[in-house]
Structure 1
């Protein structure tokens, strides 16, 4: 078992990294650490891998990183390649079309890959179950997180066999917006919650047949009820806002869902509903992503509106960034040392969460729900002008696909190394 260096010193220790949370970000963190030879314990409260349908978009920059884990080919075999998406208005129709093929000279993945997140979880869970460096503890709930006096951190967990204390070189909190790890570390989760909730309804009806001319991903503005329509391999999915005063029972009831979907596109036989979820939407960033040897990634560190499909992607970037740094600390190849590596992780990933993830998703959501008519017209004119200019469209899609942030900051680069030295993935 490789020795690890303590986060606050350079003394080697023989302890694993503890990853709390078995969703897609936690699975990526564990798989990345294992690939780099770092022993890992993954703890998940659920008894089986999560089957949440919520996130389903993988962008170019993320696919480049996942290719290094050896799962990109399998994801493509099961997923749906979507090179084009539309920005529409519910009254005016198509406003702008964006084609990611403009990025074909920069990335081998000039598109969005639509694949519900539970499939990535399944793929990585299967791999990790056969990886000697990884211990999987499902049905196990973390109740306490503590910094160890000499460095490292420990968790107290309730397992099916009773209480267990696990000691690690580091604890990575990948346990979602309600993160136990974040709360136990005393980290504030700053930001706000939208007054309306969002509802996702998935149907087996082909909405492209019901709405001829739509793309496979569509953002549809409307001051009263905006929409997000996208296709996944299993279904078409519609997302719309639910008023704060509408009960969950009414919002998710079959008659309500039928009425909403019929308002999107009439379908005489009625819409078969194969999944429905109602959830609150937040724009929040943890005040810090690191407390000693406890670190936060994904929704535990930042949570945002789904408009743009970047939350899961940015969380995966967090996980791989941190895994690369811990691996350098573990094998003694970090010229900067543990403290500088972890400080760089916390600084860079926090900055990206604020400057890219939060800024873009809040702007995307506001653009869809804008009620002021003058601002609506101005936003639509700006989108049309951007789409009509190849250079502006390219810049827009580089940012939307997270290629801009990755090329600017890198992912897990050694402290002090410029991002320009990170060679982009080859274009095939």
Structure 2
């Protein structure tokens, strides 16, 4: 990592201002209005982090490149473990008022129809949220932005670009450029939640290893009720097919269909209205023609940062790990990152002999372990299952999913994992290092 001040980023070396043997350590920098906790990125992960910090009565400065909260439709699923965490900052009531509760989901085959249905109700004795809540992520961002706009503990700096980052012995110095020109922010700690092309991660010189799928994914949203056209369709459906698998789900605004876009297609070809209509008619014939209210094409990756923490800077969400959307856990695990980071920073800010290095190192270890062992492993397996081309393997996959769904105990174990309850119960969220050691 190189000293990054004020405008350029590199991945060579470490900050010359820090001793090479101690660049990864952090002292208990006091948190104050003059030295707040900086959150870079105001998507759902960054906004959650800012709201949780404010709820812990800590000063926050939120830096976001876009001039207003992001209107991104991409992620739309909130799992039980995530709703439990969001309940602690008092936002789940509004989310439920606007969202759609989905108690089951289906694994289907495009040729053979329904293969297995899984019921989140099996978790009713373990969580108050035995279901998926479907709500497009921009609504959570909007809700939290509206709340934080009236909170004097939070400074929201939209339309502001991070142009430099330097780790100092007593915190972090950020160079920013916004509506009022160039400026600097001095922070005690920082959370980089600025997405897969993270400027923070690049500034820290952290590798982002993994791979990119050869195909891109398309998300197309239509107001047409697909359940009227396919009567046994669930609200959430994973549809296997060797040529064109599908992920079909309902949100409060629309039905959304995700499918692969061949690598040979140009951006214009992938978004051609006639081509989109052909794809939607392939899901279910609809004579009037499908109106399309949103369409996105994007690259898909399986990547994990080599470190989730450098000194007093933590990486969270897509800045730390990105994955296939099949399973709906990317957004959720990012929110778990944010809540874990905030709980540790709140203890550090409170003082009382907290081991800062142990806390931040535990964040790095735990959140990276979850990303690799759960998020990456499960989303890769889910995606491979949907696009399997070997007919014998496809049949074995069907048999396995049926066997799991019809065995209540196996189904409970399966649902517990896909809802992220297993990883949270196993590793905790922000559990103090001493408690983790005692539990081993």
Pairwise TM-score range, normalised by the shorter structure: over 0.9
Q: Deviations over 1:251-305 (max 9, x none)?
A: 1111110000001100000000000000000000000001111110000000000
Q: Deviations over 1:165-205 (max 9, x none)?
A: 11101111100000000001000001000000000000000
Equivalent residue of 1:69, what SS?
A: coil
Which residue of structure 1 aligns with residue 370 of structure 2? 352
Equivalent residue of 2:339, what SS?
A: helix
Question: Which 4+ residue blocks in structure 1 deviate beyond 2 angstroms?
Answer: 10-14, 418-421
The within-5 A match list for 1:399-410 is 399-410=417-428
Which residue among 207, 232, 238 is the counterpart of 2:251?
A: 232
The within-5 A match list for 1:54-69 is 54-69=74-89
Which residue of structure 2 aligns with residue 29 of structure 1? 49
Which residue of structure 2 aligns with residue 424 of structure 1? none
Q: Deviations over 1:132-162 (max 9, x none)?
A: 11000000011111101x2311111111110
Q: Aligned pair count?
A: 414
Alignment check: 8 A CA contact 2:63 2:158 kept: yes
The within-5 A match list for 1:12-411 is 12=30, 14=32, 15-148=35-168, 150-333=169-352, 335-411=353-429
What is the CA distance between 1:332 and its match in structure 2?
1.3
C-alpha separation between the residues in 1 aligned to 2:437 and 2:51?
24
Q: TM-score normalized by structure 1? A: 0.95
Gaps of 5+ in 1: 1-5, 422-428
Alignment check: 8 A CA contact 2:347 2:354 kept: no
Q: Deviations over 1:209-257 (max 9, x none)?
A: 1111100000000000000000000000000000000111011111110
Gaps of 5+ in 2: 1-23
C-alpha separation between the residues in 2 aligned to 1:153 and 1:93?
55
C-alpha separation between the residues in 2 aligned to 1:133 and 1:381?
54
Equivalent residue of 2:412, what SS?
A: helix
C-alpha separation between the residues in 2 aligned to 1:24 and 1:12?
27
Alignment check: 8 A CA contact 2:29 2:170 kept: no
What is the CA distance between 1:418 and its match in structure 2?
3.9
C-alpha separation between the residues in 2 aligned to 1:76 and 1:7?
41
C-alpha separation between the residues in 1 aligned to 2:86 and 2:233?
29
Q: TM-score normalized by structure 2? A: 0.92
- Measured on the aligned residues, the alpha-carbon RMSD in Å equals 1.3
1:416 aligns with 2:434: yes
Equivalent residue of 1:417, what SS?
A: helix
C-alpha separation between the residues in 1 aligned to 2:437 and 2:76?
28
Q: Deviations over 1:302-348 (max 9, x none)?
A: 00000000000000000000000000000114x54111100000100
